[in-house]
Structure 1
Amino acid sequence: MIYVQASWFGAEGPYAGFAAVDSTVRALAGLIKLIGPVEGPPLHAPDFQTGILAGLWGFIAAISSAIGPTEERPGRSCSLSIFESNLAITEFLMFEAMRCGEVIRRIGINRFWPVFPIGIYETKEGWVGVTTATPAQWREFCDVLGLCDLRDDPALLLGEERLKHVERIEREFMPRLKAQTAQHWFAEGLKRKIPIVPVPTITELLQDTEKRARGALVPVLLGVDRGSRRDPCKD
């Protein structure tokens, strides 16, 4: 048997036994302060990101235990800290801050350091999520939109460099995304190996057969009203 236990702060340490919620852990890990407009307070979306990251680390622990059991110790028991799972993201930001000599700050709505463009954008019909993490993805993204000048500009090859020219780049690619539907760009992304995915509406999300099959959406009964809610443990 492989047993994986997850708690907010783990079984040991000064926070062990403390109660928490998703926003508490994200704030302690320094993740909330990086999201939102440049001026004003940060934004927090109740999308259960801490549970998703903890689930990933729990999966890694379980699979590692399944691959490497021994005759003397056929089973494994793992204790997982949701807080420490989310610190894995913060560690990278700290290293970058030390390397660059400055603290990472919020850079605006739908903008996430150090990759650009990465976010949700409007199309002719629907919205798409776009990620261009590598130089190859950036070049293919420019090709599919016919933006040869951006593709061939050596100053825009890396995401960190593109963040210095956000307004210029968005002015060029956002109108072109609106020329075709979300499904069109999804098909193009598959062909060119660019992470472009349609963003489902709330109605589409609630009707998603795959999410229903694995219990990510569960029924909720409030008096005589019946609806659905998301189960973050199975999403």
Structure 2
Amino acid sequence: MTNNTHAPGPLAGIRVLDLTWVLAGPYAAMILCDLGAEVVKVERPPHGDVARTTGPFVNNESMYFQSVNRGKKSISIDLRSDEGRNLFLHLVDQADVVMENFTPGVMDKLGIGPEALLARNPRLIFASTSGFGQTGPWRDKPALDIIVQGMGGVMSITGYPDEPPARPGTSIGDICGGLYTAVGILAALREREQSGQGQSVDISMLDCQIAILENAVARYYATGEEPGPLGTRHPSATPFQAFPTSDGWIVVALSWGIATQWEIFCAELGLPELVGDERFDTSFKRTENHAELEPLLFDATRKRSTDHWVSTLAPYGIPIGPLNTIGQAVQQEQIAAREMITTVQHPVAGEVTMAASPLKLSRTPGRVYGYGPQFGQDTVNVLSEWLDIAPEETERLADAGIVLTEGGPDIAAYLSA
């Protein structure tokens, strides 16, 4: 694979005004930025994105903020003022994409909703990410990650039977909303090449949770039964779960349709008698009789180490791996070979380590272009480059409180409060 990290990204030349905050919207904008778009984060004075106040912190800089805002620029404009709003509208004239994740109606109240902006710039892509979308009886309700996870059914199938509901270990309500927002924007940009017209993109985080339920929805409608939590198990394939070892855990997933893998698995576990047991001779029967099978397999896998099972079963082509901690996961040689951990130099925090882009295009791969911006650091340059506004005029706007060129939350005071 040719990986020219100095080549312009596939979205080079695309200008994005990013009004999003916290996670779902910034994650989508991060994807566009990793692909080479010029993403300008438009932050509200005086403190900007609330993610700046979310830990962990290094030298009072939020690493949470850094992780989803890397490579972006930051400007601060008071959109509640007439002059600030007019300034933003002129930026919209030069933009390809506007992104926001406010509660529906907020942008319209400011006079910068999709109808107004598309009338001004017909080629604009206006992307909205919200809890419940721009239509429907719940459109005005606020929502955060755990709300849509709960309402979308995801938490009802997460965790173990007869235990309290569990939230997945990552914010998939926000992350899925961000991923689908990025896909929607890319699709709209592609369609614009054909039609010459922009359009609005309406992403509901709740919709996205329904979309990722995949076979849970199919099972519900096919059987009429409510799917429930299964721990690490698969609902229709066995073995397909985590197994304890003498020093940790392994994850095993026998391939569909390869009967010999079950025979090999049983032989290596020292349980050859299971192969001829009618209760377990097909994946369907193994799933049906899982309660009887699991203790037998657990007793066997506990006798040897994680490394033993991986090195023994992997050569047979059986899908297997260690169940890693985060520290173990990021230090794997495969992750290093794929360059999935990268560092950037931040002017205050110093060297910042973060996940890299997984978008490995052969000529124009995704990559991290720099650190997450400090509040308002690019206001002067963006107004100059996009609108040809002289630094002296930007200084006047700053003196009037229309824009800010520096500032942000006082993290030291925030942490000591």
Q: CA deviation at 1:32?
A: 1.5
Q: Distance in 2 between matches of 1:192 and 1:62?
A: 43
Q: Distance in 2 between matches of 1:145 and 1:124?
A: 18
Instruction: For 1:130, give the aligned amino acid.
Output: V
Structure 2 counterpart of 1:98, from 214, 218, 221: 221
Q: Distance in 2 between matches of 1:52 and 1:191?
A: 35
Q: Distance in 1 between matches of 2:307 and 2:325?
A: 13
| TM-score for both structures, normalised by structure 2 | 0.42
Change (3 A) 1:82 1:135: farther
Which residue matches 1:213? 342
Which residue matches 1:167? 291
Q: Would you say 1:143 and 2:267 are equivalent positions?
A: no
Q: Would you say 1:118 and 2:247 are equivalent positions?
A: no
For residue 12 of structure 1, give the secondary structure of its aligned residue in structure 2. coil
Structure 2 counterpart of 1:80, from 184, 193, 203: 203
Change (3 A) 1:118 1:24: farther
For residue 163 of structure 1, give the secondary structure of its aligned residue in structure 2. helix
Instruction: For 1:165, give the aligned amino acid.
Output: N
Q: Distance in 1 between matches of 2:150 and 2:298?
A: 32
Contact kept in structure 2, 1:145 and 1:176, CA below 8 Å: no
Contact kept in structure 1, 2:266 and 2:275, CA below 8 Å: no
| TM-score for both structures, normalised by structure 1 | 0.66
Residue ranges of structure 2 left out of the alignment (5+ in a row): 1-13, 15-95, 98-126, 344-353, 357-370, 372-410, 413-417
Which residue matches 1:42? 165
User: Which is further off, 125-134 or 80-89?
Assistant: 125-134
For residue 124 of structure 1, give the secondary structure of its aligned residue in structure 2. coil
Aligned residues: 218
Q: Distance in 1 between matches of 2:286 and 2:137?
A: 41
Contact kept in structure 2, 1:134 and 1:158, CA below 8 Å: no
Larger Rg: 2
Change (3 A) 1:159 1:79: farther
Q: Distance in 2 between matches of 1:59 and 1:190?
A: 36
Instruction: For 2:239, give the aligned amino acid.
Output: P
User: Which is further off, 139-148 or 96-105?
Assistant: 139-148
For residue 135 of structure 1, give the secondary structure of its aligned residue in structure 2. coil
Change (3 A) 1:151 1:68: farther
Higher relative contact order (CA 8 A, sep 6+): 2
For residue 132 of structure 2, give the secondary structure of its aligned residue in structure 1. coil
Written as runs of structure 1 = structure 2, the 5 A alignment for 1:4-15 is 6-15=129-138
Change (3 A) 1:9 1:190: farther
Q: Distance in 1 between matches of 2:275 and 2:185?
A: 42
For residue 289 of structure 2, give the secondary structure of its aligned residue in structure 1. helix
Q: Distance in 2 between matches of 1:19 and 1:200?
A: 35
Which residue matches 1:127? 249
Q: For the aligned residues, what is the CA RMSD?
A: 4.0
Q: Would you say 1:32 and 2:138 are equivalent positions?
A: no
Residue ranges of structure 1 left out of the alignment (5+ in a row): 224-235
CA-to-partner distance for each residue in 1:49-84, whole Å, 9 max, x for gaps?
Answer: 334434554465466567776444397764322211
Contact kept in structure 2, 1:115 and 1:163, CA below 8 Å: yes
Q: Distance in 1 between matches of 2:164 and 2:140?
A: 30
Instruction: For 1:140, give the aligned amino acid.
Output: Q
For residue 213 of structure 1, give the secondary structure of its aligned residue in structure 2. strand
For residue 197 of structure 1, give the secondary structure of its aligned residue in structure 2. strand
Overall identity of the aligned pairs, in %: 21
Instruction: For 1:31, give the aligned amino acid.
Output: V
Change (3 A) 1:128 1:76: farther
Which residue matches 1:16? 139
Instruction: For 1:175, give the aligned amino acid.
Output: D
CA-to-partner distance for each residue in 1:2-22, whole Å, 9 max, x for gaps?
Answer: 856533323333333432222
Q: Distance in 1 between matches of 2:186 and 2:277?
A: 43
Instruction: For 1:39, give the aligned amino acid.
Output: D
Change (3 A) 1:17 1:91: farther
Q: Would you say 1:196 and 2:320 are equivalent positions?
A: yes
Instruction: For 1:27, give the aligned amino acid.
Output: G
